[in-house]
Structure 1
């Protein structure tokens, strides 16, 4: 089984990637819009997509921070719902997951 340090590195790398991406999104959203009506409508549609991507990124950051807290607490890899061990294959795929496969499937 991989150590919590292995998952901590994966989570920290992903956190850094998301941080950079969110700063880029914020920069694009802060750019002035065109005065042309057609261009402005297209830009606003693009802004809506960027805002949704930003929201998704913020939600993932919250899950990563919670996983990092579980590492600090020594409970990482245990399902927060049933207390059973989360399969290493699941943690490799979803390192921020708080739930085992069975509990996640029951939601």
Structure 2
């Protein structure tokens, strides 16, 4: 399997996520509006940004794990059953650690 393409895609996505997470962190650090109604709206927005930040951190973790598998020579091999992961699955989810069958069972 040619992993260079996947590595490039994963590194690009990691850079995008890092930039997004920096923006979220910056936005969350902004001074809050003194108006109580505006603070309420800001609070709701902060909850959404925090949720996006958490999902971004989880995706970063998965990307780093996939990059480690590339370096270790196990990329594209299911971490559970050790069978090859279908190319179509890796095209859709390049950080996939499990084949379709094992992912469905989990």
TM-score tier by shorter-chain length is over 0.9
Looking at structure 2, the residues matched to 44 and 33 of structure 1 have their Cα atoms a distance apart, in angstroms, of 9
CA RMSD of aligned residues (A): 0.6
Partner of 1:67: 66
Partner of 1:38: 37
Shift of residue 86, structure 1, vs aligned partner = 0.2
Q: Helix, strand or coil: the match of 1:15?
A: helix
Partner of 1:25: 24
4+ runs of 1 displaced by more than 2 Å? none
With the length of structure 2 as denominator, give the TM-score of the two structures.
Answer: 0.99
Looking at structure 2, the residues matched to 24 and 43 of structure 1 have their Cα atoms a distance apart, in angstroms, of 16
Shift of residue 89, structure 1, vs aligned partner = 0.4
- Number of residues paired by the alignment? 106
Give yes or no for the alignment of 1:53 onto 2:52: yes
Looking at structure 2, the residues matched to 10 and 40 of structure 1 have their Cα atoms a distance apart, in angstroms, of 39
Looking at structure 1, the residues matched to 42 and 63 of structure 2 have their Cα atoms a distance apart, in angstroms, of 31
- Unpaired runs of 5+ residues, structure 2, are none
With the length of structure 1 as denominator, give the TM-score of the two structures.
Answer: 0.98
